[in-house]
Chain A
Amino acid sequence: MDTLDPVLPLQRTAPPREARASTVQGRLAQVFIVLALVFTAVAVPLGDTFFLRLGTEALIFSGLAMSVDLLLGFTGMLSLGQALYFGIGAYASALVLKHVTPSFWAAIGAALAVSTVAGSIAALLSIRARGVYFALITFGMAQVVSKVVYNTRGIIGGSDGIIGIPQIQVNLGLFRVDTASGPAFFLLVLALMLLAYFGLAYLLRTPAGRLLVAVRTNEARVPFLGYNTRQAKFLAFVLAANLAAFSGALYPMLRLPGAHVLPRLRRLRGHGHHRRAGDAHRTHLRKRDRHRAEVGPGNLHGALSHHHRQPLHARRRGLPPRPGGGNRVARGAASRGCPMTGAVPILEVCDLSVKFGPLMAVNEVSFAVRRGVITSVIGPNGAGKSTLFNLVSGAVLPRGGKVLLDGKDVTGERPERLVRLGLSRSFQITNVFPELSVRENLRLAAQVLEPRSKAFLPTRASALTLERVEELLASFRLTERQDELAGYLSHGEQRRLEIAVAAACRPKLLLLDEPTQGMSHGDTQDTAALIREIGKTVTILLIEHDIDLVMELSQHVMVMHQGKKLAEGSPQEVRGDPAVEAAYFGKAHAAN
């Protein structure tokens, strides 16, 4: 199969794909649409009851499939238990129709209400887990509920299900649709599913929908753009539960003679089987079908929860110690080493520490960044510079010490809160959205400037954002590449995009982690000019290895070595410091 490597196939890294701008894509989808149209055009006038019911059932399941797509295709969450909500919708609808009122809208309303409650609870239980663990939890949830329902008699009827659901008429104002009528009900369900489809397509064009795509393509970066990923996933989860329940609510209305809702029903699978089984016309909806939703071809998100244990997430988010300084954090953070400056610096760091295992990665570091000054952090590899950035930007929880932004204690705040407060950062290893265009990367980063009220309006309604994107494209010289996928940019361009994404939110303080990493000399010079330009309006804290660049750019330099601050001062002062020389060149610490 593979010619180059007889042992292991080559790592096939898929080229970045454009995240779908529309939910219809590809030839296969078009073929299906044509087939569906042909089916509608032929079956409806003929009024063939059998095929129309089959068609209606297919449409109803398409709603379930769309709900899986909303989770997996948009947001990158693989749910193996989506049919649970389909079942919840079906039961809610059947119970309302049978026991409360034979009203279509009441049934739909009940399904939506119950699925919102169930979906919220399930989301709280599951979205903390990522990737496969999320999938396992959703799978287990559906499995458990279906077993409990199966064994619970009473109003839901245990393994017999709900029998005797009345036929109803749907009042659509102008006319009424009888659910017993094949063609009319087919057309009604078709209309509803088209509505759901276009609703989803619309959602994908709103800032909220784009955020879901961002979560799928690079979840780890999203908080640093100022968005709460947990919230976004919660929203997607509940919406998907609603959509599945909505489809499920239509299911008991499907007049397959003797229809009833069963906990372990199965989809019609060729009626030959059913006739033979002697229960030809019972509609089965077995629990297993709940997992069966067709899965959209969307791009899967591979983040895995054991990747949590990467340093970035090491002692982090989602784990108990919460903001407000947390006791653990505040303790021992007396202002021993805190610089006492007159004017309030934009950033003040006091005795900040973190430990990875036995290693003090950052050891009681204190420093301040003055407004309008480009400050650099330098130090040999492993000195703790990037960890310092992770602590300040909220990626890692500190073990002790304080971070003050604009005089306000923000120790242990979440990254998305910090962005909203005006602190943004770039990453040493380019960390953008490779499957999205350059423009879309910037748009996502800039849409944080808009009020939340615009989250569900089309993206083009966000004027502030669009203006900011143009500005960024121009100043970072990316205009010509704006429609290119970020993954296809050259290294230098990707580094520029990385900074642009970080700068998009108009921060007060911008943390740049080795912006020129891996750049050619020419690119480095360009980037230096760019940084100087940004520095005119934004305070910059910089990590840099290129000493010439540091000397040239910064007015203030801090040197770190083995987790500690070694020296601080103007570039000239630092350059002359013997301890710094020793750290870099390995001389004996004569000065200390």
Chain B
Amino acid sequence: MGALTDYVQFVLMPQMFNGLTIGVAVILMALGLTIIFGLLDVFNMAHGEFYALGAYLGVTLASRGVSFWLLLVLVPLLLLPAGFLVDRALIQRVFHQKERHMLTMLLTFGLAIVMEDLFKAAYGPNTLKPDSPLQGGTELLGNFFPTYRLFLVGIGTFTIVAVWFIVNRTRFGSMVRAAALDRHMAASLGVPVRRVYSTTFAFGVALAGLSGVLLSPIYSVFPTMGKDFILMAFTAVILGGFGSIRGVVLGGLVLTQIQALSSLYVSPVWGDPIVFGIMVLVLFFRPQGLFGGRLGHA
């Protein structure tokens, strides 16, 4: 009996907590993806690179002496104009063509490759490891948890709730939802649809950047970090049903728990194949996602 409670307390709980830490970060990323998809109908393949951009920006600014706490606000703010520009200069160019999905996918995929190379050119191929701003651990329920991770879960949850609030309870959010449901109708009701598009894209990208800053003390910073992470985020979105905020939260949590717990029994090498397997199974048998629904419906 004691062995079992020990197992739960010292093996299962820390592992599930680690899963939760990643889960919150995945959800932040996936939220951006799903909002961009829900509104613009665009699969942003460069989302992972915006996450990396956030992390790199954080590293650079930190080396100039900017405090980590300020970065949490500054980096997303800096990414807003970047996202706005990408939408205006690239995505809107092909947005109105018949093959929108594929063209935007190719475009953002190309952007991802270019960005990754730029990171490499600017920062070199090596891994950078920023110091954790919160050292040490905190005792909770008889376990020691790294304080920074607790902070991450807290601020991540706060952000997720804030996003939900913005989308569902603000004027801007209702314009976004209106434009997602029917952009022509929204336009004729006076919603500045193009601005809403670009702002939403920027908003999604900023969320990815925030995720990058938050995770950089845990996972370090390297040029391919975006590509390594994006599959998770996409799977969370697919699991949750494209465009659904509630779905993406549940999807992200379920996925990261599966990954965290499975790594207790199989080599972590198989973490990615498991995630991918889940994605394929969901696409096969429930393409609308497990908790499906479009932006504005859930």
Q: Are B99 and A302 in contact (CB under 8 A)?
A: yes
- Report Cα–Cα, A136/B101, bound state, in Å: 12
Is A125's CB under 8 angstroms from B98's CB?
no
Least CB distance from B197 to A in Å reads 10
Which of B14-22, B102-110, B151-159, B254-262 contacts its partner? B102-110
Q: What is the interface of chain A, defined by CB distance below 8 A to chain B?
A: 7-14, 78, 80, 125, 128-129, 131-133, 135-137, 139-141, 143-144, 147-148, 151-152, 269, 277, 288, 291-292, 295, 299-302, 304-306, 308-309
Whether B279 is near chain A, meaning CB under 8 Å from some CB there, is yes
Q: A133 to B106, Cβ gap below 8 A? A: no
Supposing A143-B231, A301-B102 touch, asked if A11 and B96 sit within 8 A by C-beta, the answer is yes
A137 & B97 in contact (Cβ 8 Å cutoff): no
Establish whether residues B279 and A305, one from each chain, have CB atoms under 8 Å apart when the complex forms.
no
Q: B138-181: contact bitstring with A at CB < 8 Å (1 yes, 0 no)?
A: 00000000000000000000000000000000000000000000
Complex Cα distance, B194 from A140, in Å, reads 32
Which residues from 107 to 147 on chain B have a C-beta closer than 8 Å to any C-beta of chain A? 109, 113, 116-117, 125
Q: Does B43 contact A132, Cβ atoms closer than 8 Å?
A: yes
By a CB distance below 8 angstroms, the chain A residues around B200 are: none
Q: Is the CB of B194 within 8 A of A14?
A: no
| CB within 8 Å for A300 and B193 given contacts A9-B96, A137-B279, A140-B276 | no
Can you offer 28 A-B residue contacts whose CB atoms are under 8 A? A7-B192, A7-B193, A9-B194, A78-B105, A129-B283, A129-B287, A133-B283, A133-B287, A137-B280, A139-B45, A140-B234, A140-B235, A140-B276, A140-B279, A143-B231, A144-B272, A144-B273, A144-B275, A147-B269, A148-B270, A148-B272, A151-B269, A288-B113, A288-B116, A288-B227, A299-B99, A302-B101, A302-B102
Given A125-B280, A133-B287, A152-B269, A291 and B109 contact (CB-CB distance below 8 Å): yes
Q: Which residues in B have their C-beta under 8 angstroms from that of A125?
A: 280
A300's partner among B102, B269, B279, B287 (CB-CB below 8 A) is B102
Greatest chain B CB density within 10 A among A9, A141, A144 is at A144
What are the residues of chain A within 8 A of B273 when measuring CB–CB?
A: 144, 148
A315 to B96, CA, bound (A): 30
B280 to chain A minimum Cβ distance, whole angstroms, is: 6
Please state if B192 and A308 are interface contacts (CB–CB under 8 Å). Answer: no
The smallest beta-carbon distance between B292 and chain A, in angstroms, is 10
Residues of B within 8 A of A (CB): 43, 45, 92, 96-103, 105-106, 109, 113, 116-117, 125, 183-184, 187, 192-194, 224, 227-228, 231, 234-235, 238, 242, 269-270, 272-273, 275-276, 279-280, 283-284, 287-288
Q: How far is the CB of B41 from chain A (nearest CB, A)?
A: 9
In Å, the complex CA distance between A12 and B98 comes to 8
A309 CA to B92 CA in the complex, in Å?
27
Q: Which of B99, B106, B269, B288 has the most CB of A within 10 A?
A: B99
The smallest C-beta distance from B263 to any residue of chain A, in angstroms, reads 13
B102 CB contacts on chain A under 8 angstroms: 78, 131-132, 135, 300-302
Contact between B103 and A300, CB atoms less than 8 A apart: yes
- Docked pose: A137 CA to B187 CA in angstroms: 35
- Choose among A7, A136, A277, A308 the residue that contacts B279 (Cβ–Cβ < 8 A): A136
CB distance from A226 to the nearest CB of B (A): 26
* Known contacts A151-B269, A300-B99, A302-B98, then 12 further A-B pairs from the complex at CB < 8 Å, ordered by chain A residue: A7-B193, A14-B97, A80-B45, A129-B283, A133-B283, A136-B234, A141-B276, A143-B231, A143-B272, A143-B276, A144-B231, A144-B273
A140 CA to B98 CA, complexed, in Å: 25
Hey, which chain A residues are within 8 Å of B184, CB to CB? 8
Ranked 8 nearest A-B pairs via Cβ: A300-B99, A302-B99, A7-B187, A300-B102, A151-B269, A144-B276, A140-B276, A132-B101
